[in-house]
Amino acid sequence: MNRAPGSLPAAGHVTPTMRTMNARRAAAIWLGLAVIALAVLVASLALGSVPLAPSRVLAALMPWHAGPARADDLAGEIVRTLRLPRALAGFACGALLALAGALLQVLLRNPLAEPYVLGVSGGAATFALVAMIAGGAWWIVDASAFAGALVSILLVLGLARRELWRGEPQDTSPRLLLTGAVIAAGWGALITLLLNLAPDSRLRGMLFWLTGDLNGGALPWTALVALLLALLVIVPAAPRLNVLLRGDAAAQALGVAVMPLRLRVYLVASLAAAAAVTTAGTIGFVGLVVPHMLRLAFGNDQRMLLPAAALGGGVAVMGADLVARTVIAPAQLPVGVMTSLVGVPVFLWMLLKRRP
């Protein structure tokens, strides 16, 4: 890889500082994150209210080598039916949220942008709740969440910028955060209204889902497919995103088609946020903390950062879910509580550190 723009120093400010990022260094970063993800996955399968030895976890994952008696034992059921789908759902949701956060931060050139803070997750949750209350099929719920995420992004960009598709950000730092906070508050009010109108039989499940709950992640394949699709669509555009960091005018002068690129980022960020919300509810601050920490550590080359953010986000949510399942076992905490406990102080630190 060649040179790429450096880190985003503060909300609404971008400098053309450069940091070398070659293919070998990027591969080493991805490999390190993948090893950490594998270690957290193994821990997620082994630890819980019923601890399992690594050998029993391995036997449960490979029942064809364990014989019929071991294949049907309790350890196999716990690992294959409960813990593995939950861990995969947590990884997929974290990867989707971190990827969406990284894309929104590039799009708005603001390190404080992320789906939860800007109300994107709230919009997806509101539309998904409407579909749930109406008794829609799963694909209607997913499509509604995607529509809600897209509407939220368009509202934020339309209200925080004079021109939605073209032009430089104007006063993005205060206006963007204020707009996102107001839109998130509006979605929160609508969610409260929907919960009051929801049938009592569904209310408890909706409340747990809204706080970020992976208990319903028995079928993580939709989120995994959405993650694969998002990466296939956006990673090839990473070099142009590096140029877009310099500003719309500079990108156009260098031959980048800004409007189609922005549309691609809008759609991929909406898809990622919607898939995460429909799988595990509203999990906050992953899209803020993970890309920011990776950017501080390794630079802001999007060719490296986008896959790294996906891996790091997956590790973050899997780890948070592991803590949520074990800290007061056999009871379980919503994973969204754990991510917020970390995300809120980090967000405040970033906000106080921002240059005026």
Q: What is the pLDDT of residue 348?
A: 82
* Rounded CA separation 114/102 (Å): 7
Average pLDDT over residues 335-353: 82
* 309 part of a folded domain: yes
- 6 within domain boundaries: no
Query: What was the pLDDT predicted at 307?
Result: 96
pLDDT digits (tens, 9 = 90+) for 188-213: 999 999 988 888 877 877 787 787 77
In whole numbers, what is the pLDDT of the chain averaged over residues? 81
Whether 75 is covered by a domain: the verdict is yes
CB atoms within 10 A of CB 83: 24
Lowest mean pLDDT among 11-25, 210-224, 248-262: 11-25
**276 within a domain of the structure (yes/no):** yes
Residue closest to 112 by CA, chosen among 192, 176, 28: 176
pLDDT of res. 92: 94
Q: Are 278 and 145 in contact (CB under 8 A)?
A: yes
Domain assignment present for residue 5? The answer is no
Check: CB of residue 75 under 8 Å from CB of residue 59: yes
Domain annotation covers residue 153: yes
Residue 263, domain extent: 26-353
* 17 within a domain of the structure (yes/no): no
How much is the pLDDT for 246?
Answer: 84
* pLDDT at 176 > cutoff 80: no
| pTM for this model (two decimals) | 0.84
Give the count of beta carbons closer than 10 Å to the beta carbon of residue 230.
23
Q: What is the pLDDT of residue 75?
A: 77
* CATH (domain of 177): 1.10.3470.10
At 258-309, the pLDDT tens digits run 888 988 998 898 889 888 888 888 888 899 889 988 998 898 899 999 999 9
Is residue 165 predicted with pLDDT exceeding 60? Answer: no
Structure tokens at 40: 């957290």
Asked whether the CA dihedral 225, 229, 230, 235 is positive or negative, the reply is positive
Residue 174 lies in a domain: yes
Number of domains making up the chain: 1
- Two tokens at 322? 């592991």
Residue 13: count other Cβ atoms within 10 Å of its Cβ. Answer: 15
